Amino acid sequence: MSLLGVDFTSAPCRHKPITVATGRFVDGALHLLTLEDCVDWQAFDTLLRRPGPWLGAFDFPFGLPREAVIDLGWPDDWPSLVRHCRQIGRTSFRASLDAYRQTRPYGRRYAHRAVDSHAGSHSPLKLVNPPVGLMFLEGAPRLLDANISIPGMFAGDPTRNALEAYPGFLARSINTAPYKSDERAKQTPARHATRRQILDAVEAGTHMLSLPVRLTREQRQLLTDDARGDRLDALLALVQGAWAAIRGDRNFGLPAQFDPLEGWIAGVPSQC
C-alpha cells in the first residue's frame, strides 16, 4: 500500500502549494519516498484519483461540529452536509458561520468537535488564522467527488482511503515550541532548531506514535530548511497515516464510536 501525508491549503498556488509526502513500508520500516507539490486544484484532484491501493492522511477537517450543524439546520449526514456546503458556496458559507458565531455566548463563539478537545485543534468553523473552515469547504467535497472511502464516515472506493491528520498534534507531543511560520520575520534560528529536534524524534520513533521513519540525508536537510514547515507537516501527516495503516484491521485505530458527522483525527486517543 502506498501512503500519503498531505499538508493542505484552501488556495493552492506556486507560492503556497499543497505539499504531499509519499511513503511506503519496506522491510517493516516506513520510508519517505518523495515530496511533491500540487500547485493548483487540477493537480490535487489528479492526486486523489491515483489508482489504489493507497491511504492518505490529509491535514484539514473532514467534518463540522454536530452542535453547529443542528443549530444551522443543515443536513446531519456527512455526504448530504458536504454537498449542501458546496452548493451554497464560499460566500454563503462564510456569511452563515459569521452570523452563527454572533448567536453564541462570548467565550464560546466557536463550536468544536469532540476530537478538537483531545487534539487541541481549531474549530472547523474558524475562517481566519488559520481558515480551517475554508479548508473543510475545499477539501471535503473533493474527497466525496473522488469517491474516496473515509473509514466510519463514507464508503467509497475501498482501495483508496482517507483519514484526517493534524500534524500540530504530533509535533507538540515532541516539542511545544513554535517550529514554523509563513512570515519571514518569524523564521528564526530557534524554529530551525525545533524542526531539527522534531525530525530527530521522527527518525528515532521517540514520539507518541512510536513509528520511526527512514530519511535520506538530502531529505532531512530539505525538511529542516523549510521555514514554512509545509514539508515537515506533510511528513508528520504521513506518520499519522502510517500508524493508522498498521491498524487497518482495527478500523485504522479510530475510536470504537465516533461521530460520523464530525470525524476523527488519526492517532489521537479518545481518552486524554
Q: Cα 3 vs. chain centroid, distance in angstroms?
A: 14
- Return phi, psi of residue 18, to 5°: -75, 130
**Angle, to 10 degrees, between the axis of helix 167-174 and the axis of helix 189-204?**
90
DSSP annotation of 122 reads P
Cα–Cα distance for residue pair 261/269, rounded to 1 Å: 18
Q: Mean pLDDT in the chain? A: 97
Residue 272 has what pLDDT?
A: 53
In this structure, the chain runs to a length of 272
On the question of pLDDT at 160 being above 60, the answer is yes
Residue 270 has what pLDDT?
A: 86
Residue 46 has what pLDDT?
A: 98
SS3 25: strand
Q: Tell which residue, 129, 1, 128, 8, has the closest CA to residue 62.
A: 8
Residue 129: what residue type? N
Tens-place pLDDT, residues 25-64: 998 889 999 999 999 999 999 999 999 999 999 999 999 9
Q: Tell which residue, 258, 61, 39, has the closest CA to residue 164.
A: 61
Residue 24: what residue type? R
Beta-ladder partners of 157: 148
Cα–Cα distance for residue pair 191/89, rounded to 1 Å: 37
Report the side by side order of strands in the sheet with 18-26: 148-149, 157-164, 54-58, 2-7, 18-26, 29-38, 213-214
**Gyration radius of the chain over CA positions:** 18
Residue 28 has what pLDDT?
A: 83
Share of the chain above pLDDT 90, in %: 96
Cα–Cα distance for residue pair 58/48, rounded to 1 Å: 11
**pTM value surpassing 0.75:** yes
Q: Is the bond preceding residue 105 a cis peptide, omega within 30 degrees?
A: no
Q: Tell which residue, 239, 228, 240, 169, has the closest CA to residue 195.
A: 228
Tens-place pLDDT, residues 60-119: 999 999 999 999 999 999 999 999 999 999 999 999 999 999 999 998 999 999 999 999
On the question of pLDDT at 196 being above 90, the answer is yes
Residue 271 has what pLDDT?
A: 74
